[in-house]
Amino acid sequence: MSHAQIKQVIKKAKRLCQKAPRSFSTNAEIIETAKLLFTLRKSSESEAARVERQFAGMLHKCIVLSSEKLQLMKVFSKHKFNRTEKEILLLFALSATGMHQPVEDLEDIQKAMNKSGKKVLSIAGSMTKNSRLCRSGMIEIYSNRGGTRFNASDEFISAILGKDCKGGWRVKKYDDLLDHTYKIVKAAAERADDIRQERKRRYFLSSLAENNENVNKLLDRFFNALEKHPRWPLSELINCSLSRQEILMVLMLIGKELGFLSPRDESFTGEGLARCASADVPSIRHCIEMLKSERPLRKNGFIKVCDDNNSNSGGIENEMLLRASEFELTPECLIKFKIKRQRRIANLAHQPIVRPEQLVLSDCVKSALEMCVVQARNSDVMFEDWGLGQTFSYGTSVTALFSGLSGTGKTASAEAIAYQLGRPIITANYAEIVSKWVGETQKNIVRVFREAEQSEAVLFWDEADAMFYDRDSALRNWEVRDVNVLLQELERFKGVCILSTNRKVTLDKALERRIAIKVEFERPEKELRRQIWGKLIPEDMPLAEDISIDQLSEVELSGGEIKNVVLNAARLSLGRGTTGPVTMLDFEKAIQMEREGSWTANKGGFGFGSKEQRRFLTKVS
C-alpha cells in the first residue's frame, strides 16, 4: 500500500477507536474490521504500530459484546478460543475470502500477526497438532513436500459464509492436490492402526468411529476437488467406476511413491492396504479380495505385486499370499497420474560432487574406472550395433568390485564415475537393510535395485562383503537366499552397480563370474601421496615457510588419512588465531593424531618402515 493509503487506514482506525465499543451485527462486519487490523500490522510506520495496539483491544471488546447468533461468534464461544486464536482464525477467514494474501504455513501466520517475544511462541503453540485450533477442526494441519501446512476447514468456511460448505480442497495446481492426499494417507494409516490394535485399545469402537468419519470426510473433499478439475489425471479414478475402498488403496500407494510413509511401512502389504481401506475388522477379507488379479485394481493396470525375485505373476491369488505380498503402482499408472518419486528418491539418491580430476589414482585403477565409464556410455554400441547382445542375453550391465582399505578412494571413485555419466548415485549399506524378519532382507535388496533403476542412478553397495557368502560354505539358509537374490538382481539390473569391500573376501563362484571389473585400491606410494598432498592443501591456506610436501609424503598414509591430517592441522592453527600460518609442527601433530587413532597403528602392516619414516616419526614424537 502507498503511504497515502496507510494514512487513510490509520485515520479510519483512530476514528473507530474513539467510539464506544459495540457489538458486531454480521460476520462480514467482523471480517472487515479484522482486515483493518491486519493492514495496520503490515505497515512499517511507527504510528500504525501505536494505533494497532489500541485497535486490537477495541476489536476484541466488540467481539465480546456480539451475539452468539452470529456463526463466527458461535465458533469462538463453543471452543473458548483466546485472543491469539481468534485473531489467527480471522486471518484464515480473510485468506479464504480473498481479502488477504494466502496463508499456508507458520511463517505466513507469524508475518501477518507481526508479533515479537512471547507472543511469537504463543502463536507457534496455537498451531500445533494438539492445539485447540486444530483439535476443534477449525484449522486442518497436514504435511507435504514443502513442510507443514495449514488451511481453514469446511466447518469454519461454513461459519464465515453462514451456509453449509462442502466444497473440495481449494487447490489450483495438480501438485497441490497430490500434496493434500497426504491427509488421506495418514488418516487411513491411523485407522488401520486402530484395527490392528483393537484388542489392546480400551476405547477401540469410539476411536475407530472417529477415524472412519475423518477418512470419509477427507475422501469427500478429494472427490469434490476432482469434480472441479475433471481434466486432472486422478479424475480417472472416478471415471473408471472403482469403489471407495479401491480408490483409497490406490491413494495409499500414491502416498508410498511420494514418501508420505516409509516405503517399508506395513500399510503397503496386502494386509495393510486392506486395513487402511476397511471401516471395520470384518471388511478386511472383502478388501483382500479386491487385490486379486481378476479384479479391477490389477486387471486394469492400477497396481501390481512388487517384483520379489519373480516377475509380477497372477500366481499370487490365495488369501495368505495376498496378505503378505507388497504392492505398488504400475509404471503405466505412475506415468498416467504424473507421480514422481520426488521424496523417496531424494532420500536415497544424490548428485555426485567428486570430479575425476580431483582423484589421485594409479594408472591401473584409472584404466579400470575408464572401462566402467566407456561401457556405460556405449552399451548400445556394444550390445546392439556390435551384436554382443545376441551372444550375451543377460549379465550385460556394468558390475564392478572395488576392494581396498578404508580411505583408499573407493567411494570417491564411485562418485567420480557417476559424475562422468551425469547420473545420481545411490549409496546402499547392507548392514542398514538387513532385517530379522524372514524374507525381509531379500525384499530390501530388490527394493534398492529397483530404486536405482527407476532413478537411473549408479548403485554403490558400501561394505558389501556381508553379502558375499560362499553358498557352498554358508551355515544358514538366509545367507544362501541373500546371495541368490543378489545374483538375480545383478543379472536383471541394466545400470552401473559397484560393490565395495574393505577386505579381501572369498566370493561365491557364481557371483565372481558376474563381476566383470575388479579393482583393487592399494595404499598410495610416495609419488601418489605427494600428488594427494598437493591436491588437498588449497592455495588459499596460509602455510609457513617450513612446510615440505616431500617430507610429508614420506609417511605412509591413505588419501582419507591425508584428508584428516590436513583438516586437523588447520584446526590446530586456527586454535592460535584466524590469520595462520599452518606450520610444519601442526602437520606433524596432526599426523601423530591420525596414526594413534588409526586401526593400522597396532596392526604392524602399515607402520613406518623406511629410515626416513622412522626419523620423521621420532621428530613428531
Asked if residue 186 is part of any domain, the answer here is: yes
The residue among 205 and 541 whose pLDDT is bigger is: 541
**Same domain flag for 100 and 190:** no
Of 77-81, 376-380, 599-603, the range with the lowest mean pLDDT is 599-603
**Same domain flag for 332 and 407:** no
Of the candidates 297, 313, 340, which is a domain's last residue?
A: 340
**Same domain flag for 388 and 482:** yes
Q: Given 3-state DSSP classes, what are the helix, strand and coil percentages for the chain, each rounded to the nearest 5?
A: 55, 10, 35
**Same domain flag for 429 and 509:** yes
Tally of CB atoms within 10 A around 226: 22
Asked if residue 505 is part of any domain, the answer here is: yes
The C-alpha atoms of residue 203 and residue 208 are separated, in whole angstroms, by 9
Q: What is the tally of helices (H) and strands (E) in the chain?
A: 32, 10
**Same domain flag for 607 and 515:** no
The residue among 532 and 488 whose pLDDT is bigger is: 532
Q: What is the pLDDT of residues 533-547, one digit of tens each?
A: 999 999 889 999 989
Asked if residue 165 is part of any domain, the answer here is: no
163 pLDDT more than 60: no
310 near 325, Cβ under 8 Å?
Answer: no
438 pLDDT more than 90: no
Q: Is the dihedral of CA 491, 493, 496, 497 positive or negative?
A: negative
Of the candidates 280, 306, 340, which is a domain's last residue?
A: 340
- pLDDT at position 1, please? 64
Instruction: Tell how far CA 460 is from the center of its chain.
Output: 19
Query: What CATH number is associated with residue 564?
Result: 1.10.8.60
**Same domain flag for 108 and 210:** no
509 near 525, Cβ under 8 Å?
Answer: no
Tally of CB atoms within 10 A around 32: 13
The C-alpha atoms of residue 235 and residue 468 are separated, in whole angstroms, by 48
The C-alpha atoms of residue 492 and residue 551 are separated, in whole angstroms, by 50
Asked if residue 166 is part of any domain, the answer here is: no
**Same domain flag for 373 and 323:** no
- pLDDT at position 542, please? 92
375 pLDDT more than 80: yes
Calculate the average pLDDT of the chain: 82
Asked if residue 375 is part of any domain, the answer here is: yes
301 pLDDT more than 90: yes
Residues spanned by the domain of 30: 3-159
Closest CA to 466 of 498, 423, 503, 521: 503
Of the candidates 521, 541, 562, which is a domain's last residue?
A: 521
**Same domain flag for 357 and 494:** yes
The C-alpha atoms of residue 158 and residue 15 are separated, in whole angstroms, by 32
**Same domain flag for 151 and 183:** no
pTM of the model: 0.47
The C-alpha atoms of residue 33 and residue 13 are separated, in whole angstroms, by 9
Q: Once rounded to an integer, what is the mean pLDDT over residues 114-118?
A: 82
Q: What is the pLDDT of residues 567-578, one digit of tens each?
A: 999 999 998 988
Asked if residue 302 is part of any domain, the answer here is: yes
Asked if residue 169 is part of any domain, the answer here is: no
- pLDDT at position 465, please? 77
Query: What CATH number is associated with residue 360?
Result: 3.40.50.300
**Same domain flag for 366 and 301:** no
**Same domain flag for 355 and 215:** no
Exposure string (b/e) for 314-349, b if CB count within 10 Å is 16 or more?
eebeeeeebbebbbbbbeebbeebebebeebbeebb
Of 357-361, 394-398, 433-437, the range with the lowest mean pLDDT is 433-437
What one-character DSSP code corresponds to residue 539? Answer: T
- pLDDT at position 315, please? 58
- pLDDT at position 406, please? 86
Asked if residue 535 is part of any domain, the answer here is: yes
284 near 195, Cβ under 8 Å?
Answer: yes
Q: Based on the structure, what is the number of domains in the chain?
A: 4
**Same domain flag for 202 and 254:** yes
The C-alpha atoms of residue 327 and residue 257 are separated, in whole angstroms, by 11
